[in-house]
Amino acid sequence: MVERTVRVGSSHGLHARPAKLFTQAAAGSGSSVTIAKAGGAPVNAASILAVIAQGIDHGDEVTVVVDGGDEQRVLDELVELLSTDHDE
């Protein structure tokens, strides 16, 4: 199990398109992935509704936990996705 905390780079936060890109990647990773907002409970990162419902905004810190599969590579990819601004 590996985890990392990262700041969300998308200017509109983790809603709409960025949320879709992130959950698509999490669902397709073959690992079990959770995401948690600072101080919040972790939710299934493959669930677009759970992710959107976190109300994660630009600049929020989130912690991603990857369990199983190619953990390190999956974590790197997801962190990269989260820190990129997809709303440019």
Partner 1 sequence: MEFRGTGIGQGVAVGPVVRMAERLPEPVDRPSHLDPAREEERARASVSVVADDLQRKGAQAGGAAQDVLEAQAMMAEDPTLMDDVVKRLADGKTAERAVYEAFAAFRDLLSSMGGYMGERAADLDDVSQRVVAHLLKVPAPGVPNPGHPFVLVARDLAPADTALLDLTQVLGLVTIDGGPTSHTAILAREKSIVAIVGAADASALADGDTVIVDAENDLVVQSPDADAVAAAKERIAERAARAAAPITPGALADGTAVPLLANLGSADGAAGAVELGAEGVGLFRTEFLFLDADRAPSVSEQQEQYTRLLSAFPGRKVVVRVLDAGADKPLAFLNDAEEENPALGLRGIRALRHAEVILREQLTALATADAATDADLWVMAPMIATVDETRYFTDLCRELGLKTAGVMVETPSAALIADRVLGVADFASIGTNDLTQYTMAADRLLGTVANLQDPWAPAVLRLVAEVGAAGGRLGKPVGICGEAAADPLLAVVLVGLGASTLSMSPSALADVRASLARYTREDAERIARAALAAEGAAEAKQAAKQAAESAPTPTGTTVP
Q: What are phi and psi of 52, to 5 degrees?
A: -60, -40
SS3 6: strand
When asked if residue 11 is in the footprint of partner 1 (CB under 8 A), the reply is no
Residue 3: name the closest of 59, 61, 72, 69 by CA. Answer: 72
Residue from 6, 8, 9, 19 touching partner 1 (CB under 8 A): that is 19
Q: Work out how close the CB of 26 gets to partner 1 at its nearest, in angstroms, rounded to a whole number.
A: 11
When asked if residue 17 is in the footprint of partner 1 (CB under 8 A), the reply is yes
CA 59 to chain centre: 13
15 catalytically annotated:
yes
- Binding residues vs partner 1 (CB under 8 A): 12-13, 15-17, 19-20, 23-24, 27, 43-44, 46-50, 52-53, 55
